Amino acid sequence: MKRILKLSLSLALALCMLLPLATSVSADGKVTYSGNSGDFIFTPGSEHSPTDLFDGFKGVMPGDTRTQKINVVNDADNQVKVMIYLRALGAHEGSEKFLSQMTLTVDATDGERLFKAPPSEKGDLTDWYCLGTFYSGSDVDLDIMLEVPIEMDNEFQNAIGLFDWEFKVEEFPVDPTDPTPGTGDDNNTVLYVCLGLCSLVLIFFIVLFKRRKDEDEEAA
């Protein structure tokens, strides 16, 4: 019984110590405003476009519903806050027919729908849409969904569709009255501290348990 208890405690301890190492899965697409260099950095890119944000929308088949995220982050220094805007510019020439077959939906983190239309169109992103004010390190996620109709014709096998989104940034000086900028670190620090404390408590009890056991054995 004691052995089982000991094993269970060891496993629980190992689990507690391993948990803080776990990190969240990164977004599929990323738009980084790097500040001093002035430009946005778009990743991951693809063989068709170095600024491609839609790694998850390759090789789509009729009836597919694909989802992915795009993470927009301000990676500039602490001296500025920025406002980042997005607008759709539509399809490249020759891509309209293919892209008009499907529906692209873009939702903000708070659930607000920014866009629902074929990616060949500008939809509700014809005009600049402000994604928010970003302090250094802060970010937002856009939830992207692509729906391909089951009726999409055979003629679109191996089709490639290109469309443009434009991002704009406005830098502002940080005011003393601004809220404390986020660091961009979204790890659950409190959780990890608690887990660490739990680990220490477990170690304490194991040592205490062993010491008492040794004392009992000596007394016997």
Partner 1 sequence: MKFKNGSAKRKLLTFGLFFILLGVLAYGTVAFYTEDSIATGVITAGNLDIKLIQQEKFGDEFYNVPFENITGVAPGQTVSRIVSVENCGAYAAYVRVSVNLIITLEKGYSISSAPENPVTVDFNTTDWTYNEDGYYYYNHPVEPGAATAPLFSTVSFSGALGKTFENSKANLKVDAYATQVVNNGANVFEAAGWPDPEE
Residues that bind partner 1 (CB under 8 A): 31, 38-40, 42, 46, 48-49, 51-54, 57-64, 80, 83, 89, 92, 98-99, 102, 119, 146, 150, 152, 154, 156-173, 175
Residue with Cβ nearer partner 1 (13 or 118): 118
* Contact call for residues 120 and 91 (beta carbons, < 8 A): yes
Residue with Cβ nearer partner 1 (45 or 196): 45
| Distances in whole angstroms, Cα of residue 32 to Cα of each of 1, 35, 42, 43, 56 | 55, 9, 7, 8, 19
Rounded to the nearest 10 degrees, what angle do helices 189-219 and 2-18 cross at? 160
Residue with Cβ nearer partner 1 (16 or 91): 91
Residue with Cβ nearer partner 1 (71 or 202): 71
- Please report how close the Cβ of residue 184 comes to partner 1 at its closest, in angstroms: 20
- Please report how close the Cβ of residue 185 comes to partner 1 at its closest, in angstroms: 25
- Please report how close the Cβ of residue 51 comes to partner 1 at its closest, in angstroms: 4
CA distance 104 to 112: 15
Residue with Cβ nearer partner 1 (147 or 209): 147
CA distance 128 to 131: 9
- Please report how close the Cβ of residue 61 comes to partner 1 at its closest, in angstroms: 5
* Contact call for residues 192 and 144 (beta carbons, < 8 A): no
Residue with Cβ nearer partner 1 (134 or 163): 163
* Contact call for residues 120 and 163 (beta carbons, < 8 A): yes
- Please report how close the Cβ of residue 151 comes to partner 1 at its closest, in angstroms: 9
CA distance 101 to 104: 10
CA distance 151 to 76: 46
- Please report how close the Cβ of residue 168 comes to partner 1 at its closest, in angstroms: 4
CA distance 116 to 8: 51
Name the amino acid, one letter, at 56.
G
